[in-house]
Chains A and B, each alone.
Chain A
Amino acid sequence: MRKILKLAVSDYKRRWNKPILILLYVFTPVIITLIMWMAFGGGSGGSGFAPLKLAIVNNDKGGVISDFFVNAFSNENAKDKIKAFVVKEPEAMKLINGRKVSGVMIIPKNFSKNILEMRKTEIKLIKNPTEMIYPMIAETGLNIIKDGTNYLLTIFKDEITIIRTAIEKKEKMDNMTFTTLYDKIGDKIKKIIPLFEEQKIEIKDVKEEEKKIPMAVFYFTGMAFFFLFFISNAVLNDMVKERNGFIIKRLFLSELKKSEYYFARILSVVLFMFTIEFVLAITGRLLFHITTDSIFWLLITLFLSAIILSLLSAVIMGLSNNERQVHNIGMIFVFLFAMLGGSLIPVSVLPASIRKFSVVSPLYYITESVISLVLQRMDKFYHLIISTSFIAIGLFILSYLLNIRALKKVVK
């Protein structure tokens, strides 16, 4: 035991040999999270997202319904969210080709007339191919207005037909017809107006502070584990370097056993990773207000995640014969596990067919554990912690066997 501790302490000391490099690794997730946080709502002021820029070409000027569509996108209340440019078609095409707007909405000639005559008509939407989210928002907004218009047209179908027929025949309506029509429209409007005046369904916006925390928790936790995995690989790379030099032979010519060597290495890396995680946890609390009431469980989670990352790297070292292989195998493991485990993209955003593979990534368990703990979803947290413990045991056995086998190849 004394030999293990002495070797582990020496290793731990050695780990801090390049503090600048470690600081760089540690604070990269902090910087990325800060950028994400500021870009998506964490910054001071504003709604977070820049307004959607939309060019509108109205070829049906003066039409009742086309004006309604234009106003829906360009009214004062929506100016924070949508910046609409009502322009001619050539200018609109210049804007979209220059990638200056997220989309172009073209309302065709006789749009309102066609609708009132119950003929099918269409609005063109040209989406900016270099953007992903904004054109989707524009399309969704347009769909909502389209559905609303269709709904109103269905409700007032009979009345519109009577009015349209009268206009077409250039007939004057007699008082009786006009009064009946007026009453019908009035009745329907009376029924509809309360729906708008006294809203039964309200969208309640959650407080800004509450919105920011889950996002920072996700980005910070995910990015931190992604970079920590890189660090543990870089640190444990020593095991492979040593195997190819005389130092390992010298170590085993002493009274050190292979299992003691393995335990010492893992112990030193776990302690090192735990220290860095601890620093990151404090940074997360200070910068992004990421905190939890359960400090005990936070420490347990950090320690378990340090074990998982160290053992994952130890598996990579056990599979590699040289530093080049460490790099190659490490890259595959880091990116695959980070992608599946929700370190780079939230698991919920992944396609369902890929999402089911998240459970094979150990990073999934440690990332979700921290997020669950911070968001106080304790039921989920306990399940994750138990799973993480079992994964740690499995990784320990696997990495032990692989590394002892690799060591036996070098020294009898």
Chain B
Amino acid sequence: MLKIENIKKSYKDIKALKGISFDVKKGEIFGLLGPNGAGKTTAISILTTLIEPDSGAAYYEDKNIFNNISWWRKKIGVVPQETAFYEELTARDNLTLWGALYGMDSKQASERASYLLNLMDLESKEKAKVSEFSGGMKRRLNIAIGIVHRPEVLFLDEPTVGIDVQARVNIREILKKFVNEEMSIIYTTHQLEEAEELCDRIAIMDEGEIKARGTIEELISQLGEETEVEFSGEFAEDAIRNILNNIGVKILNFSKETILIDVEKEDIIPEVVELFMKNNVIINTMDIKRPNLETLFLKLTGKELRE
């Protein structure tokens, strides 16, 4: 398990990290979710030993990683935001090069390259120079290089930033296959859907602090908010209030065209719709608004989380 304790980092007067603590269990995907400038990349840079923290500690297998840098570097893989490989070489050349730099012999490096090219759907392009790759393909190679040496902990720093939706979905599908690699992943992102889809647990970061952490369900339940349903149509106030009061549903907002209701349990929604229909209430649309990460994020940081 990787355990991070009260890490702080300042650049002159700017406090980039104000003491962050969290732990990452073996084999889990831990998401660091936050807007640009939240301190995610600084945290990753410190944990990958690229920059030194002002204070704090991080332990892996009970060893302080900052006192055992060489040992720790062998355990980790890093996938940076920007692509970092040689575009003049082929994907295979890049993979075997990094394999060799991690101490693999030619055979091991070649076998690992073949496996990763297959995993990343790059087999058909293995002989092409990387400069000819699309943005999505380059990102996939970037990830492959990060795991060429089978790291125990992988740091993925916004691996899908700046690419199109299709390529992003493609990368998410590939990352799901990493279960077989049996490694812990620390995944930074400001994409809510990515965090929801991939991460076992997340920490919400803003202004150098961790505002909340846990599983997505745990965090949403902390919100204590109920599902809201918005109807549009033609509504007579007295009739509607009668119908909804009888089944104990609270009206949050009412107008002749729209009504917003609060439901404790979502199974009451079909009953509401049935009653509206029995009473000849005309409904054009219905929108169910469940509490989600975005609501949580907005509540914790006061900011929208958008790219």
User: Do A and B belong to a common assembly?
Assistant: yes
For the complex formed, measure the closest distance between the CB of A316 and the CB atoms of chain B, giving whole angstroms.
22
Contact B86 A249 (CB under 8 A): no
For the complex formed, measure the closest distance between the CB of A394 and the CB atoms of chain B, giving whole angstroms.
30
Contact A250 B49 (CB under 8 A): no
Cβ contacts A234-252/B at 8 Å (1 or 0 each):
0000000000011101110
Contact A10 B97 (CB under 8 A): yes
Residues of A within 8 A of B97 (CB): 6-7, 10
Residues of B within 8 A of A6 (CB): 96-97, 100-101
**Chain B residues numbered 37-86 whose CB sits less than 8 Å from any CB in chain A:** 48-50, 52, 69, 73-74, 76, 78, 80-82, 84-86
Contact A246 B82 (CB under 8 A): yes
For the complex formed, measure the closest distance between the CB of B95 and the CB atoms of chain A, giving whole angstroms.
11
Q: Residue A137 at the B interface, CB < 8 A?
A: no
Q: Which of B85, B103, B129 contacts A247 (CB 8 A)?
A: B85
Q: Residue A256 at the B interface, CB < 8 A?
A: yes
Q: Residue B149 at the A interface, CB < 8 A?
A: yes
CA distance A407 to B270 in the complex (A): 66
Contact A250 B78 (CB under 8 A): yes
Contact A10 B48 (CB under 8 A): no
Contact B102 A255 (CB under 8 A): yes
Cβ contacts A104-140/B at 8 Å (1 or 0 each):
0000000000000000000000000000000000000
Given A10-B93, A14-B88, A249 and B80 contact (CB-CB distance below 8 Å)? yes
Q: Which of A2, A13, A250 contacts B145 (CB 8 A)?
A: A250
**Chain A residues numbered 167-182 whose CB sits less than 8 Å from any CB in chain B:** none
CA distance A305 to B82 in the complex (A): 38
**Chain A residues numbered 291-330 whose CB sits less than 8 Å from any CB in chain B:** none
Of all chain B residues, which has the CB nearest A238? B86
Cβ contacts B106-140/A at 8 Å (1 or 0 each):
00000000000000000000000100000000000
Contact B89 A14 (CB under 8 A): yes
Q: Residue A3 at the B interface, CB < 8 A?
A: yes
Residues of B within 8 A of A206 (CB): none
Contact A251 B101 (CB under 8 A): yes
Contact B80 A246 (CB under 8 A): yes
Cβ contacts A1-32/B at 8 Å (1 or 0 each):
01100110010011001000000000000000
Contact B101 A245 (CB under 8 A): no
Q: Residue B98 at the A interface, CB < 8 A?
A: yes
For the complex formed, measure the closest distance between the CB of A19 and the CB atoms of chain B, giving whole angstroms.
12
Residues of B within 8 A of A256 (CB): 101
Q: Which of A13, A14, A250, A411 contacts B80 (CB 8 A)?
A: A250
CA distance A40 to B129 in the complex (A): 46
Size bin of chain B's contact surface? 20 to 34
Given A250-B84, A254-B149, A255-B74, A13 and B100 contact (CB-CB distance below 8 Å)? no
Residues of A within 8 A of B74 (CB): 255
Contact A253 B52 (CB under 8 A): no
CA distance A254 to B84 in the complex (A): 13
Which of A6, A249, A250 counts the most chain B CB atoms within 10 A?
Answer: A250
CA distance A124 to B257 in the complex (A): 109
Contact B80 A7 (CB under 8 A): no
Of all chain A residues, which has the CB nearest B148? A254
Contact B73 A253 (CB under 8 A): yes
CA distance A256 to B97 in the complex (A): 11
Residues of B within 8 A of A411 (CB): 50
CA distance A17 to B90 in the complex (A): 12
Given A6-B97, A254-B101, A411-B50, A249 and B89 contact (CB-CB distance below 8 Å)? no
Q: Which of A17, A250, A255 contacts B88 (CB 8 A)?
A: A17
Given A7-B101, A251-B101, A412 and B78 contact (CB-CB distance below 8 Å)? no
CA distance A14 to B130 in the complex (A): 12
For the complex formed, measure the closest distance between the CB of B87 and the CB atoms of chain A, giving whole angstroms.
9
13 residue pairs of the A-B complex, CB under 8 angstroms, read A6-B97, A10-B86, A13-B88, A13-B89, A13-B93, A246-B80, A246-B84, A247-B85, A250-B84, A250-B85, A251-B101, A254-B102, A412-B49
7 residue pairs, one from A and one from B, having the closest CB atoms: A254-B101, A17-B88, A6-B100, A246-B84, A14-B88, A247-B84, A246-B80
Known: A14-B89, A253-B78; 12 extra A-B contacts, CB below 8 A, are A2-B100, A3-B100, A6-B97, A13-B93, A17-B129, A247-B86, A250-B78, A250-B80, A250-B85, A253-B73, A253-B76, A254-B149
